Amino acid sequence: MDDGFPRSRAVALDAEDPMAGFRDHFLTQGEPGFIYLDGNSLGRLPAAVPAFLDQVVRDGWGRGLVRSWETWIGWSRSLGDRLAAHLLGAHQGEVVLSDSTSVNLYKLAAAALDAAPPERRTIVIDGEDFPTNRYIMQGLAEQRGLRLVTLRSDIDQGLYPRVLRAALNQDVALVVLSLVSYRCGALLDMAAVNQAVGDAGAFMLWDLCHAAGAVPIELHATGAQLAVGCTYKYLNGGPGSPAFLYVRKDLQPRLRQPIWGWFGQRGQFLMGPSYEPVDEVDRFLVGTPPVLSLAAVAPALDVIERAGISRLRQKAIRLGGVVVELADRWLSPYGFRLASPRDPTRRGSHVSFEHPEAWRICQALSAEAGVVCDFRVPDRLRIAPVPLYTSFTEVWDAMDRLRDIMASRGYQRQSAALARVT
């Protein structure tokens, strides 16, 4: 049954897809029929990573030992410069890899709060933002006796600009928002938000976790001040790969982070008596980076740089369009409702659907149909085709298997109890 969208149409889209060859840069062999639609949680393994890690382990660690630090010490910065140039629209010397997104959120938010005029006593967050973002700002507000304003954004459409504007006033020191919503995928207008928050005299801190590698980002052109993001989602850096942080050049000497570690210190190996951070972006580093995890980011960036973010975005929009079109045709009769903006230019790369049985459907897809996507509370199924390695035919097949599970009610065999990790 094809209902006006035959599989052959998806096959034809793949045949004329200029990005189709990039799939070969990922390890996907030995998985007949398996379809991965969860690259917004953990990106696939780039094919060049195992050999490169083997080399770093054997030559760098095994043979070079401590002498290899001469090379390793520069990686946080050189990888940051690559991200800045190819994916973030930032200048050299404005981005470094370090710590986790959570820790970087804390560091940059605390630095901004310290630099804000003392009479400004409010932090503004989005009530639908990823939990760690909300918790870290709750903690900072409590530790410093500040007011926390939680914006009410639409669970399916994201934050409306008027809601943000209404919250901006002379008391606001800092606004923290995600460019792409983790749940519904809504994409904010970075330039408009930077303008509004800047006009109000507050600091703006962006979370780019679901945006970096998925949508073109122009930190400089839009006047962005501060940003953080992870490298294990669309950047394919591997589980727990270090996050990045961006601080606009002119702000770097003015901002001091709260964790005074030796990797931010002027003349680090002079082992001086007291903390005196360098003027550059390295002042936002803390301690020894996880070198093996950092190493894996390099081959991952090789692939994404060759593909180019604007071509990736074009394909992502078309992949998302197929997901939405097939869901409209095949899944709405089973009670699925689109829980993301319908306009593809207002979305990142993933699409969410609401269904009361979303959790059991998600499990059945994985256990019985070889399709991995994910579930998000309260009742959302997130489907994330990734233009680097997802084909149109895979999207068609995944949606077809999903339709079968609904028709056969196969999901009813799954447990309703949530797993530890969803």
Please report how close the Cβ of residue 33 comes to ligand PLP at its closest, in angstroms. 28
C-alpha span between 286 and 222 (Å, rounded): 28
Please report how close the Cβ of residue 61 comes to ligand PLP at its closest, in angstroms. 25
Q: What is the 3-state secondary structure (H, E, C) of 168-204?
A: CCCCEEEEEEECECCCCCEECCHHHHHHHHHHCCCEE
CA distance between the termini of the chain: 32
Q: Which is nearer to ligand PLP, 132 or 138 (CB)?
A: 132
Q: Which is nearer to ligand PLP, 128 or 357 (CB)?
A: 128
Q: Is 99 a catalytic residue?
A: no
Q: How many CB atoms lie within 10 A of CB 30?
A: 6
Please report how close the Cβ of residue 142 comes to ligand PLP at its closest, in angstroms. 19
Please report how close the Cβ of residue 408 comes to ligand PLP at its closest, in angstroms. 33
Using CB under 6 A as the criterion, which residues of the chain lie in contact with ligand PLP when the complex forms?
Answer: 100-102, 130, 132-133, 178, 182, 207, 209-210, 230, 243
Catalytic residue among 77, 233, 313, 315: 233
Q: Which is nearer to ligand PLP, 349 or 391 (CB)?
A: 349
Q: Which is nearer to ligand PLP, 140 or 364 (CB)?
A: 140
Catalytic residue among 207, 282, 397, 400: 207
Of the candidates 218, 289, 280, 199, the residue with the CA atom closest to the CA atom of residue 247? 280
Amino acid at 236: N
Please report how close the Cβ of residue 268 comes to ligand PLP at its closest, in angstroms. 25
Tell me the C-alpha to C-alpha distance, in Å, between residue 390 and each of 12, 50, 110, 155.
14, 21, 39, 27
Q: Which is nearer to ligand PLP, 265 or 349 (CB)?
A: 349
Q: Is 233 a catalytic residue?
A: yes
C-alpha span between 169 and 200 (Å, rounded): 6
Of the candidates 281, 294, 290, 286, the residue with the CA atom closest to the CA atom of residue 263? 286
Active site (catalytic) residues: 130, 207, 232-233, 382
